[in-house]
Structure 1
Amino acid sequence: MDIGCLFAPTTHTPDHIAEAERLGYGYAYVYDSPSLFANAWMTLGRAADRTARIRLGVAVVTPKLRHLVDNASGAVTLAALAPGRVDVVVGAGFTSAALLGRRGSRWAEVEEYILALRALMAGEEIDWEGARIALTFPGHSGLAPVTDVPVLAAAHGPKGFAVASRVADGVVTNPSHSSDPIPFEGRCVVTSYGTVLGEGEELSSPRVVDAAGPGAALALHLGEYGPLAGTDEVRGYQAWLASVPEERRHIETHREHLIGVTPEERPFITPKVIESATATGAPQQIRERLEHLEQSGATTVAYQPAGPDISRELRAFAAAAGL
């Protein structure tokens, strides 16, 4: 099983990806949510100049956020900068769509988008939204069609896994979204949140809350659809959210999403929540979880470091994973 990493991109992420390569991580993906994070394609372009081996990818692009041509061009450009080590993940959308006040795409749209994205990258002409389109890069642009960029699907339920089985080169899934995270045969990337505990460190430690809190807060954001359904913490968080004017709730729900913990979330990031919603634990516990995921069918675990010291999180997880 490969060990990769996943970033909520900031202006420092290119350097963190270079550090991840030195530590032995095989993959580095970044989220694409422009209302929250640094630009995904720009971040990976800068990372390409700092690395030589690690695979680079966006997880995820969505039909409702960027036009198909924009993402196809981004992927082809990144493939020219980092040949043979680019992945693209397509999904229905969660935070990126919510922050535009929209719902995620239908899975039929995701399936169509995957097929069209692959065709455009390969240099084909396609019909899209009533027009014939293609990537027609000039010969001196340094860009050329690519057919070696895997396109994966971000899938967390039966419809997503069905689409992935039909048209994608694998799946990226999140155990927080479902009690059955890997009902899929083939390349399966499982995301992991949390922090590696130091000797004698407690789940209530401020450092642990800062580092594991963003992943734990994701479960609060999922509410009754996530692993904390029915808990006092979810009820308390939802009660606070109900006090926010309705037209702003989507903004406040996702403020600091996966990158920090807001003052309003912090009272609900309890040791029980961290234990239930993240893969936080001592090094031996991390190793045991990785072994369990491998036995369950994961081919890659993508660890998302968070908190104020990303380098520490990368080093600690790499050591626990035996990189």
Structure 2
Amino acid sequence: MEFGCAFASTPEAAQQAWVAESLGFDYIGFYDSPALETDVWLTIAEALRSTQRIRVGTYVLIPHLRTPITQASAIATLWQRAPGRLEVAMGTGFTGRMAMGKRPLSWAFMERFIGQLRALLAGEEVEIDGAVQKLIRSPNDPLPEAIDVPLFVAGNGPKGIDVAKRCGDGLVYYGEPERAPGGFDRLVLPLHGFALEDGESATSPRLIEAARVMFTLQYHLFFDGFSGSREQLDQLPYGRDWLATIEQLPERTRHLRVHEGHMTHVNAHDRAFSERHRDALEAFARESALTPGQLGEQIDSLKARGATRIIGGHALPDWERGLRAFAAAAGLG
């Protein structure tokens, strides 16, 4: 069983990777959302530079943001810097698309892109946009003709899972854990909740702020149709209040305000909403707080469902305390 963590691409990446490695994590991933964050490939380069062992990757790459040959060139460059330590997970896009006012990519696009990327990394010629392309090597180029980098596919529904089976080296699954599909040699599942420090209350300032990030995120997911719909927002505490204030914003630029701060900080609108409904925020924090025993039970459950890697511990804004609490509770190191 491997343990990983994931963060937004920010200037803190090198320190986050160093801390994660020192605590015994096997993997650290970074989001690909250029409207909000630093460039994911430059971020990964800094994370690789600051570490020796831990594997580093995209979590997850949004293919349309760069051409296939640009993505392949970036992967090849980083592979040269740290052979065997780079991984690439790809998805259709949530904030990476929606913060730009776009819907997620189609699975037909994803399957075509994965095939093109594999061919380029294998040193093959491939037709892209009506022209044959290839990573052309010079005689002095130290890179091998073919570059073997694991390509994971992030998918929750039947189409994504099917593409992962046909085209991927593993699945990143964020659906309901009890519905995690079988048949994958590599299955990445998330661990939900925040590890408590010794003697810490579920409503401590640290836990409240960590919970605030995820508490408000669930409204974004419903609003954009990722894990529900706008019509279902009333299933969340005070969902109609959240929606009513969002709908007061100009429709043309509304997506910019909704996704502002996504997984980097809580924006002013969401902070005001979560303070206005502090009862719901504190209830969410209590539900999300995990004792070492509860965390261990969740790990065992995910292992029983076929997980080969568990992603957890990325509590914001105090990410280092979050990683240390998770590592201690999970017995890493």
Letter in 1 for 2:210: A
Runs of 4+ in 1 over 4 A off after TM superposition: 178-181
Looking at structure 2, the residues matched to 39 and 109 of structure 1 have their Cα atoms a distance apart, in angstroms, of 22
1:241 aligns with one of 236, 246, 268: 246
What residue in structure 1 maps to residue 180 of structure 2? 182
Cα root mean square deviation, aligned? 2.1
User: Tell me, what secondary structure is at the counterpart of 1:140?
Assistant: coil
What residue in structure 1 maps to residue 261 of structure 2? 256
Which sections of structure 2, spanning at least 5 residues, go unmatched?
A: 275-279
What residue in structure 1 maps to residue 157 of structure 2? 157
Looking at structure 2, the residues matched to 241 and 304 of structure 1 have their Cα atoms a distance apart, in angstroms, of 30
Letter in 2 for 1:271: E
User: Tell me, what secondary structure is at the counterpart of 1:100?
Assistant: coil
What residue in structure 1 maps to residue 92 of structure 2? 92
1:315 aligns with 2:324: yes
Contact 1:193 / 1:280 at 8 angstroms: preserved in 2?
Answer: no
Cα drift, residue 263 of structure 1: 3.0
What residue in structure 2 maps to residue 52 of structure 1? 52
What residue in structure 2 maps to residue 218 of structure 1? 217
User: Tell me, what secondary structure is at the counterpart of 2:6?
Assistant: strand
Q: Encode CA deviations 1:199-249: one digit per residue, 9 max, x unaligned.
A: 454443332122232233221211265389512333222222111111122
* 1:29-178 alignment runs, 5 A limit: 29-175=29-175, 178=176
* 1:253-292 alignment runs, 5 A limit: 253-266=258-271, 267-268=273-274, 270-274=281-285, 279-292=288-301
Contact 1:23 / 1:315 at 8 angstroms: preserved in 2?
Answer: yes
Letter in 2 for 1:233: Y
Q: Encode CA deviations 1:20-55: one digit per residue, 9 max, x unaligned.
A: 111110111110111111211111111212222111
- Equivalent pairs counted in the alignment come to 319
Letter in 1 for 2:90: V
Which sections of structure 1, spanning at least 5 residues, go unmatched?
A: none
Cα drift, residue 307 of structure 1: 2.2
Letter in 2 for 1:56: V
The percentage of counterpart residues that share the same residue type is 37
Contact 2:313 / 2:327 at 8 angstroms: preserved in 1?
Answer: no
Q: Encode CA deviations 1:139-170: one digit per residue, 9 max, x unaligned.
A: 33443344421111010111100111111111
User: Tell me, what secondary structure is at the counterpart of 2:321?
Assistant: helix
Residues 34 and 320 (structure 1), Cα distance of their counterparts in 2 relative to 1, 3 Å cut:
same
Cα drift, residue 275 of structure 1: 5.4
Comparing 50-59 and 230-239, the one that deviates more: 230-239
Comparing 44-53 and 189-198, the one that deviates more: 189-198
Looking at structure 1, the residues matched to 76 and 286 of structure 2 have their Cα atoms a distance apart, in angstroms, of 40
Looking at structure 2, the residues matched to 11 and 107 of structure 1 have their Cα atoms a distance apart, in angstroms, of 32
Contact 1:223 / 1:234 at 8 angstroms: preserved in 2?
Answer: no
TM-score by length of 2: 0.89
Looking at structure 2, the residues matched to 99 and 123 of structure 1 have their Cα atoms a distance apart, in angstroms, of 34
